[in-house]
Amino acid sequence: MDQLNWASIPREELSAKTVRQAIHTERMTIARLQLLKGAVVAMHHHENEQVTMMKSGVLRFVFGGSEAGKEIIVRAGDVLTIPPNVPHMVEVLEDSMATDLFAPRREDWIRGDDAYLRG
């Protein structure tokens, strides 16, 4: 068992408007994301199931693939579940703080293969 505190987890500046902290366990990834208004996470998909829990702010998720055209707005207190392999993008409508859970863990992030988040 490990006890961690977000204050001790390194902050990764992915862009001028996106900061990520990530904890990778054997089977899942827990990420805390600080997103500033105007940031965009490009359309992408991954094999991981995703749960996004909003602490503050407002995000607009837009879905592609078989869910094309569907939009969901999430606000503080909301929880959004995204099944594996569903294409999605995110637009930050207000400065936001979100915690994302992924299962299985994000091997692409561990490898540094996450260019869609950077820039």
Note down the domain range covering 103. Answer: 32-111
Phi, psi values for residue 4, rounded to 5°: -120, 160
Count of the separate structural domains present in the chain: 1
Whether residue 21 is contained in a domain is answered as no
Asked whether the predicted pLDDT for residue 65 surpasses 90, the reply is no
Q: What single DSSP character describes residue 115? A: G
Considering only 21-30, 50-59, 71-80, 106-115, which range has the smallest mean pLDDT? 106-115
Whether residue 9 is contained in a domain is answered as no
CATH number of the structural domain spanning residue 96 = 2.60.120.10
Whether residue 36 is contained in a domain is answered as yes
Whether residue 99 is contained in a domain is answered as yes
Q: Which residue has the tokens 């500046």?
A: 13
Instruction: Give the residue-averaged pLDDT of 61-88.
Output: 93
Whether residue 24 is contained in a domain is answered as no
Query: What per-residue confidence (pLDDT) applies to 119?
Result: 67
